């Protein structure tokens, strides 16, 4: 029986189309899970990019990442976040936050045996202030 259930939120995690992307995160998490003391679930957001022929292959490849997959016995959700060209860095933090928040809420409300955790309200407020630039 696992004594701890964790939810890992990261943009660096391997997926079906990028098997080496953030492999170190997966390796460490897999070792924790293999110990039998930890059960884990991962939320690894992926940028939504339209499949346009003029875009570089590395961006178009992101469209093929499944919404959910399982690797080494760990369930990984890949919510999409908007990353518009040229202005993406302005919108990416808020878009990423919103996508990750929805996915984490779904994982937390799950009644299955999948691991869950929640972010304390104070931490969410600090995160929101950091993203929005408000005090």
Give the mean model confidence (pLDDT) for residues 116-135. Answer: 51
Query: Do 64 and 50 meet the contact criterion of CB atoms below 8 Å apart?
Result: no
pLDDT in tens, 17-60: 899 999 999 999 999 999 888 889 999 999 888 777 888 887 88
pLDDT in tens, 70-118: 998 899 999 998 877 666 677 788 888 888 888 888 877 663 444 444 4
Query: Do 8 and 43 meet the contact criterion of CB atoms below 8 Å apart?
Result: yes
pTM of the predicted model as reported, rounded to 2 decimal places? 0.73
Residue 125 has pLDDT above 80, yes or no: no
Every domain of the chain and the residues it spans: 4-132
């Amino acid at each position: 029986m696992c004594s701890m259930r964790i939810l890992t939120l990261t943009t660096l995690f391997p997926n079906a189309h990028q098997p080496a992307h953030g492999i170190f995160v997966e390796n460490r998490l897999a070792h924790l899970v293999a110990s039998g003391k930890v059960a884990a679930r991962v939320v690894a957001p992926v940028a939504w990019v339209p499949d346009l022929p003029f875009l570089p292959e590395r961006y178009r490849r992101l469209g093929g990442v499944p919404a959910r997959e399982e690797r080494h016995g760990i369930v990984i959700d890949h919510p999409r976040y908007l990353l518009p060209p040229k202005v993406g860095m302005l919108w990416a933090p808020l878009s990423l936050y919103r996508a990750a928040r929805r996915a984490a809420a779904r994982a937390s409300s799950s009644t299955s045996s999948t691991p869950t955790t929640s972010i304390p309200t104070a931490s969410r407020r600090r995160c929101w202030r950091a993203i929005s630039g408000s005090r």
